[in-house]
C-alpha cells in the first residue's frame, strides 16, 4: 500500500495539481495513512480494514496530542484514499475500491463569520490612520474581497493607473520545500496562477483604494530611494520584498486583539466584503464575479448569510391573511 501511494503521488498528483494541492495529498499519505497501513499489501485491503483505520484515526490520530482528529480531517483522508484506490482499480492492482463501502461522521461545514458593523467600523478607523503596508494590504482585502495570497502577490505591473484597475491573476502561499531542494529552510513562498479562469479578474478601484495604492508608491520611493519596478510588490515588506501571507495573518490577529475585537480569520474580510455588497444592492452574479467564483453556487452557499436583524425584521412583518 505504501509503495503504491508514493508512486501515485509522484506520477498522478504532483504533475496535475498545484503545489498546495500536492502538499495536501502528500501530508495525508505520509503523516497518517502510510505509517498506519502502509505495510499492508494492496490485495489485502478490505472495507473492514479501511473502516478500522478511519475509526482509529478519529479516536487517536492527532499527531500532537494523540487524541481525536476532527471529522473534517477524517473526510480528507477518505477522499485521498478513494482517489488513490480508484487509480489502483484502473491499473488492475485491485478488483474493487473498498473506500465507498466505509462510513465516517458527517462533516458540518463551518461558515466564516463576517465582521459586524461595529467591528468593521472600529477596524476601519484604526487601519485608515496607519500608513504601513500591512494596514493598507488589510484595507485592500476588506474592500475588494481579494484572498490573502492574491493581495500579497500583487505587483505594480498588475495596476493600470490610467484607468484605475487592478488585475488579479496569481497568488502566493508558504509551502513545505521540496526535499530535493538546497538550503536549510523547510518552507518557501510559492507563486502560482489563481484558482480558476473566473478567479483571474480585473477590478475597477474606487478613488480611496487608488489613493491607498498611490500611497504605497510614495512610501516605497521614500524608503528605498527609487520608484518601484513593474515586478516589485505593491504591498511590500520592511526590506522591499513580498509580504509573507503568514505575516499578514499575524498582523491581522494582533490588530483585532489590540482593538479588543473578537477573533475572526483574515478570510472574514472577504466574507465581510460579500455581505456588505449584497446588503447594498450588488446582485449575486456580479458579486460572484468580483470574488472570482466559478459560479454563483459558491457565493450563495458560503458567503451570503442573512443578518439576524434582517431576519427579525422579516418575521415581525408576517401577519395572518385574515388580519
Sheet holding 201-204, edge to edge: 159-160, 165-168, 201-204
Q: Which residue has the cell 487509480?
A: 87
Number of H helices, E strands in the chain: 14, 5
Residue with cell 499578514: 248
Q: Where are the alpha helices (DSSP H) in the chain?
A: 2-8, 19-27, 34-37, 47-60, 71-90, 117-129, 133-144, 148-153, 207-224, 245-258, 268-279, 284-291, 296-298, 308-316
Pick the CATH number of 2-101 from 2.40.50.140, 3.40.50.720, 2.40.30.60, 1.10.150.130: 1.10.150.130
Matching CATH number, 117-308, of 1.10.10.60, 1.10.443.10, 2.40.50.140, 3.40.605.10: 1.10.443.10
The ranges of the chain annotated as CATH 1.10.443.10 are 117-308
Residue 235 has what pLDDT? 98
pLDDT for the residue 196: 80
Rounded to an integer, what distance in angstroms lies between the CA atom of residue 303 and that of residue 268?
Answer: 10
Rounded to an integer, what distance in angstroms lies between the CA atom of residue 234 and that of residue 243? 10
| CB-CB contact of 135 with 254 (8 Å) | no
Query: What is the pLDDT, as a whole number, of residue 180?
Result: 56
Q: What is the pLDDT of residue 322?
A: 82
DSSP code for 141: H
pLDDT at site 48: 97
244/157 Cα distance (integer angstroms): 19
- Distance between CA atoms of 32 and 135, rounded to whole angstroms? 39
Question: Average pLDDT of each block of 10 consecutive residues along the chain (323 residues)?
Answer: 96 92 95 96 96 96 93 96 97 96 86 90 96 96 97 98 96 81 74 86 97 96 96 97 97 98 96 92 93 89 76 84 76
Indicate the SS3 state at residue 188: strand
In whole angstroms, what is the distance from residue 234 CA to residue 216 CA? 7
**Where are the CATH 1.10.150.130 domain residues in the chain?**
2-101
What residues does 236 pair with on adjacent strands?
Answer: 242
- pLDDT number for residue 130: 92
CB 230 within 8 A of CB 223: no
Which cell numbers hold the place of 279? 446588503
Amino acid at each position: 500500500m505504501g509503495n503504491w501511494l508514493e508512486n501515485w503521488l509522484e506520477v498522478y498528483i504532483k504533475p496535475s495539481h498545484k503545489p498546495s494541492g500536492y502538499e495536501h495529498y502528500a501530508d495525508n499519505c505520509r503523516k497518517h495513512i502510510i505509517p498506519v497501513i502502509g505495510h499492508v499489501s494492496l490485495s489485502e485491503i478490505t472495507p473492514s480494514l479501511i473502516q478500522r483505520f478511519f475509526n482509529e484515526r478519529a479516536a487517536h490520530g492527532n499527531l500532537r496530542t494523540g487524541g481525536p482528529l476532527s471529522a473534517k480531517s477524517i473526510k480528507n483522508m477518505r477522499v485521498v484514499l478513494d482517489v488513490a484506490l480508484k487509480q489502483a482499480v484502473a491499473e488492475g492492482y485491485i478488483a474493487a475500491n473498498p473506500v465507498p463501502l466505509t462510513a465516517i461522521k458527517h462533516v458540518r461545514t463551518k461558515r466564516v463569520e463576517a465582521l459586524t458593523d461595529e467591528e468593521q467600523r472600529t477596524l476601519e478607523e484604526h487601519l485608515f490612520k496607519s500608513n504601513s503596508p500591512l494596514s493598507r494590504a488589510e484595507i485592500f482585502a476588506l474592500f475588494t474581497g481579494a484572498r490573502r495570497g492574491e493581495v500579497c502577490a500583487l505587483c505594480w505591473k498588475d495596476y493600470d493607473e490610467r484607468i484605475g484597475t487592478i488585475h488579479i491573476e496569481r497568488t502566493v502561499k508558504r509551502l513545505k520545500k521540496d526535499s530535493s531542494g538546497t538550503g536549510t529552510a523547510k518552507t518557501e513562498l510559492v507563486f502560482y496562477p489563481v484558482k480558476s479562469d473566473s478567479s483571474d479578474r480585473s477590478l475597477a478601484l474606487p478613488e480611496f483604494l487608488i489613493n491607498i495604492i498611490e500611497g504605497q508608491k510614495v512610501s516605497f520611493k521614500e524608503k528605498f530611494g527609487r520608484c518601484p519596478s513593474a515586478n516589485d510588490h505593491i504591498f511590500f515588506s520592511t526590506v522591499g520584498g513580498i509580504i509573507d501571507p503568514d505575516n499578514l495573518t499575524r498582523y491581522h490577529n494582533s490588530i483585532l486583539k489590540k482593538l479588543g475585537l473578537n477573533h475572526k480569520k483574515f478570510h472574514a474580510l472577504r466574507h465581510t466584503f460579500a455581505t456588505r455588497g449584497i446588503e447594498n444592492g450588488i446582485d449575486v452574479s456580479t458579486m460572484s464575479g468580483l470574488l472570482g467564483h466559478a459560479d454563483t453556487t459558491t457565493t450563495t452557499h458560503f458567503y451570503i448569510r442573512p443578518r439576524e436583524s434582517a431576519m427579525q425584521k422579516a418575521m415581525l412583518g408576517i401577519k395572518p391573511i385574515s388580519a
